[in-house]
Amino acid sequence: MESLLYIALLALSISNGAVAQGGAAAKNYAGAPGYPTAADWSSLNSSTNGQLIQYIPLYSVCYGSRYNATACAGFVKDSLTFKLNSIQDPALIETPYWAGTACPLPRIPPSGALPDSDCNQGNYPDYVLAAKNKEDIASGIKFAAKHDIRVIIKNTGHDFLGRSVGYGSFSIWTHNLDGVQWADDWHPTTNITSLRRRQTTKQAAITYGAGMLWGQVIEEAKKHGHIVISGADPSVGAAGGWPQGGGHGPHSNQYGLGADNMLEAEVVTPTGDFLIANENSNPDLFWALRGGGGGTYGIVTRMTMKTYPDPGSSYALIRIAPKAIGNYSHYLDALAYYFAITSQLTDFGLSGYPFLTHGGYTANLGAPGKTAKQLETFLGPLRTKLRSMGDVNIIARPYDVKNGTKSTCKKRFHTRAQPAVPDITNINIFNATHNIAIGPDYSF
Ligand SMILES: Cc1cc2nc3c(=O)[nH]c(=O)nc-3n(C[C@H](O)[C@H](O)[C@H](O)COP(=O)(O)OP(=O)(O)OC[C@H]3O[C@@H](n4cnc5c(N)ncnc54)[C@H](O)[C@@H]3O)c2cc1C
Ligand SMILES: *[C@@H]1O[C@H](CO)[C@@H](O)[C@H](O)[C@H]1NC(C)=O
Ligand SMILES: *[C@@H]1O[C@H](CO)[C@@H](O)[C@H](O)[C@H]1NC(C)=O
Ligand SMILES: *[C@@H]1O[C@H](CO)[C@@H](O)[C@H](O)[C@H]1NC(C)=O
Ligand SMILES: *[C@@H]1O[C@H](CO)[C@@H](O)[C@H](O)[C@H]1NC(C)=O
Ligand SMILES: *[C@@H]1O[C@H](CO)[C@@H](O)[C@H](O)[C@H]1NC(C)=O
Ligand SMILES: CC(=O)N[C@H]1CO[C@H](CO)[C@@H](O)[C@@H]1O
C-alpha cells in the first residue's frame, strides 16, 4: 500500500510549472516527441465510447471567428445572476484567475467580436475525458501514464486555488458519474475476515457517484427524513474536493466534518486499478482520503456517507448595523462585544456563515435540534445587552423553518433580513482599540 501511495503522489500531485527554467519539461506537452498523436487520442476516444473532448474555452463565443452575440450576451447575463456554468462545462472553473488569459468573459456584452488575440487556451486542458464510469477513468489514467502527460481532475470547478485546471493538461471530468442511493442499513462493500469493528446497529448511509452535487444528495436523503453532513451550498460536489479536503457545513457543529462522516470510497488508482477504501479494506488509503485533499491519492468514483434522522432546526437572524454615517463608535462596541462572546453561540449549537460588509454584520445562523422557543431563551439576553450599547440597529430574532428548506430560508432572509441601513462606503479600517477589521465589502 505504501508504494501505491507513493506512485499516487508522483502521478497526481503535479505542480503548476509546466517547464522548469532552462530544463526539460516534467511531462510531455503538445509538441513534445512523446505527446500522444492524433491517432493515439482517437484510440482513447474509441475505448471510452466517444467520451473524449478537444476542449474549446466556453467564452470563446465572445471572440473572433467563434463570435456569437446571443451566446456571449447569455453568458454575461448568467454571471450577473450567479449561474454557475462551471458545473456543466467540461473544463470551466469558477475562479477564472487560475485559467490565465483563456478567453475571459467580458463584463458587458461587447458590441462586436472581441479580438482573437485576447482568447487562447490559457491554463485550460487540451483534452477532457467526460468519463461515464470507472472503466473510462481507468482507461484515461493508463493512457496518461503511458504517454507521460499531465493529468488533472475536475468535478464542479469550485476549487478556490485552481486545482481543477492545469496548463497543457489532460483532464478527467467526473461530472457524469451520477446515481444516488440511500440505505437504512448499510454494510461495507468489502467484508474481510479481520473485521475490526463489527456493525451491531443499523447504519443509515447514502452512496453516490463522484459527479453528484450536494443539492442532489441532500434531496435524496430528505425523502427518507434524513440529513447528510454536507456543504452549505448545494452546488458543491459531494465526493470531490469537499469531503477529501475535510468539508464543513451547517451541521458540522453537531455531527463533525465531511471527513468524519465518510464510510467508504471507490477509487481508481494512478495505476488504473480499482480499490475499495473503508475501515476494513485499504484503511490507510481510507484515512488519507479523509482530509488529504482532492486529487492527492487517486480518483474517487463513488462515495458513501453516514446520514442521520433530521433533527429539525431553528434559525437566528442576527444583524448589527450602524444607525448613522459618522456614528460608528456604538456599532463597533456592539460588534466587539458580540465577537467576544461568539464561542457561547457556538456552544449553544448555533453555526453558519455570517457576512460583514460596509453596511453591517448579518448572520443567518442555524441551531439544529433546537426549537425557536429554546433559541429565544438564549437570544433574549443577548439582544437586550446589544441594544443597551447605544445607537446601533440590532436584530436578533429566532424563527423556525418547517423541515428547513433552503428556499424558505432564503426567502425569509431576503424579505425580512435587510432593514434599511445607511450605505457606508468609506469604512475600511482596522480599529486597534476594538481589534476588529471592517470591510472592504465581502461577499461569498
Ligand atoms: C460557492 C461555493 C461554496 C462553498 N461552500 C463550502 C462549504 O460550505 N463548506 C466547505 O467546506 N467548502 C465549501 N466550498 C469550498 C469547496 O469545498 C472546495 O472548493 C472544494 O474543493 C470543491 O470541490 P469540488 O469537487 O466541488 O470542485 P473541483 O474544483 O472540481 O475539485 C476540487 C479538487 O478536488 C479534486 N477532485 C474533484 N473530484 C475528485 C474526485 N472524484 N477524486 C479525486 N479528486 C477529485 C480536484 O482535482 C481538485 O483538486 C465552497 C466553494 C464554493 C465555490
Ligand atoms: C470522440 O468521439 C465522438 C463520437 O464519435 C466524437 O463526437 C468526438 O468529436 C470525438 N472526440 C475527439 C477529440 O475526436
Ligand atoms: C448562437 O448561440 C445561440 C444561443 O446559444 C444558439 O442558439 C445559436 O445556434 C448560435 N448560433 C450559431 C450560428 O452557432
Ligand atoms: C457484510 O456483512 C454483513 C453482516 O454480516 C452482511 O449482511 C452483508 O451481506 C455482507 N456483505 C457482503 C458484500 O458480503
Ligand atoms: C477606534 O474606535 C475608537 C472608539 O470608537 C475611536 O475613538 C478611534 O478613533 C477608532 N480608531 C480609528 C483608527 O478609527
Ligand atoms: C451620534 O450619536 C449620538 C448619541 O447617540 C447622537 O447624539 C448624535 O446626534 C449622533 N450623530 C449623528 C451625526 O448622527
Ligand atoms: C424537523 C422536522 O420537522 N422534520 C420532519 C420533516 O418531515 C418528516 C415527514 O413529514 C417528519 O417525519 C420529520 O419529523
Q: What's 369's DSSP letter?
A: T
Distance (Å, whole) CA 122 – CA 170: 14
pLDDT at residue 207 in the model: 98
Query: Does the beta carbon of 133 lie inside 6 Å of ligand 5?
Result: no
3-state secondary structure (DSSP) of residue 278 = coil
Q: Whose CA is nearest to atom 4 of ligand 6?
A: 391
Interval between CA 333 and ligand 5 midpoint (Å): 10
pLDDT at residue 199 in the model: 59
Distance (Å, whole) CA 254 – CA 393: 31
- Which of 44, 52, 132, 139 has most ligand 2 atoms within 8 Å of its beta carbon, as the pocket-test mutant? 52
pLDDT by residue, tens only, the chain of 444 residues: 344 343 343 344 333 444 445 567 789 999 999 999 999 999 999 999 999 999 999 999 999 999 999 999 999 999 888 889 999 999 999 998 999 889 999 999 999 999 999 999 999 999 999 999 999 999 999 999 999 999 999 999 999 999 999 999 999 999 999 999 999 999 898 865 545 555 568 899 999 999 999 999 999 999 999 999 999 889 999 999 999 999 999 999 999 999 999 999 999 999 999 999 998 899 999 999 999 999 999 999 999 999 999 998 888 889 998 887 667 888 999 999 999 999 999 999 999 888 888 778 988 899 999 998 999 999 999 999 998 988 888 888 887 765 444 433 333 333 333 333 333 333 333 333 333 333 333 332
Whether residue 44 contacts residue 144, with contact meaning beta carbons closer than 8 Å, is answered with no
pLDDT at residue 25 in the model: 79
Interval between CA 52 and ligand 2 midpoint (Å): 6
pLDDT at residue 402 in the model: 52
Query: Between β-strands 127-130 and 170-173, what pairing exists: parallel, antiparallel or unpaired?
Result: parallel
Helices (H), 229-328: 241-244, 252-255, 258-261, 283-289
Whether residue 306 contacts residue 205, with contact meaning beta carbons closer than 8 Å, is answered with yes
Query: Does the beta carbon of 431 lie inside 6 Å of ligand 5?
Result: yes
User: Angle at CA 376, nearest 5°, toward 374 and 380?
Assistant: 135
pLDDT at residue 396 in the model: 83
Query: Between β-strands 262-268 and 355-357, what pairing exists: parallel, antiparallel or unpaired?
Result: unpaired
Strands (DSSP E) contained in 262-415 are 262-268, 274-277, 299-309, 313-322, 355-357, 360-368, 392-400
pLDDT at residue 153 in the model: 98
The CA-atom distances, in angstroms, between 281 and each of 115, 145, 262, 287 are: 55, 25, 14, 11
Query: Does the beta carbon of 276 lie inside 6 Å of ligand 3?
Result: no
Interval between CA 49 and ligand 2 midpoint (Å): 9
Distance (Å, whole) CA 337 – CA 355: 17
pTM of the model: 0.82
Distance (Å, whole) CA 64 – CA 85: 21
Query: Does the beta carbon of 53 lie inside 6 Å of ligand 3?
Result: no
Number of the ligand 4 atom closest to the C-alpha atom of 190: 13
Query: Does the beta carbon of 70 lie inside 6 Å of ligand 3?
Result: yes
Query: Does the beta carbon of 68 lie inside 6 Å of ligand 3?
Result: yes
- Which of 430, 431, 436, 438 has most ligand 5 atoms within 8 Å of its beta carbon, as the pocket-test mutant? 431
Q: Whose CA is nearest to atom 10 of ligand 5?
A: 431
